[in-house]
Amino acid sequence: MSYSTSGIDHFGLTVKDLTASSNFFINCLGFEKVGERPEYPAVFVADSAVMITLWQAKDDAETLDFDRQHHVGLHHLAFRVQNHEQLDQLFAKIKNWQAIKIEFAPENLGTTEARHFMIYEPSGNRIEFISRNA
């Protein structure tokens, strides 16, 4: 018997500030809060395509920011946006959101017609937003 996967069910992100990160996903990106586990603590958010578990990191001196060039782990998340106009509208909303670091504004992806931008959400996780359709 052969087995295969059929897409992503959910993924989990460790965050420094559960309140700020869940607020960003819910109030800026429009995700819905679909659950929580206060004893972890964790908040579960979802859009129409994927669920994300946001886990609170322990607040101690050992917490390190992820360095995509030196640490093994999730390099970034990439969310698809329907078209270039919506990508630009989303960037306009995100760029003024509290505690967001912009890596770069919307630009073409190499020599393709795709456009994208990268940010760091309030806890420092790197997120790409990409549109492949004009």
- Residue type for position 37: R
Phi/psi at 87 (5° precision): -60, -45
Note the pLDDT tens digit of each residue in 62-87. Answer: 777 777 787 778 889 999 999 999 99
Mean residue pLDDT of the chain comes to 91
| Interatomic CA distance for residues 14 and 57, integer angstroms | 6
Note the pLDDT tens digit of each residue in 88-107. Answer: 999 999 999 999 999 999 99
| Interatomic CA distance for residues 132 and 36, integer angstroms | 33
Q: Where are the domains of the chain?
A: 10-58+76-131
Distances (CA, A) of 23 to 33, 78, 102: 10, 19, 18
Contact at 8 Å (CB) between 122 and 64? no
Residue 9's pLDDT band, with cuts at 50, 70 and 90, is: confident
Phi/psi at 26 (5° precision): -80, -55
Q: Which CATH number fits domain 10-58+76-131: 3.40.50.1000, 3.10.180.10, 3.30.1360.120, 1.20.1440.230?
A: 3.10.180.10
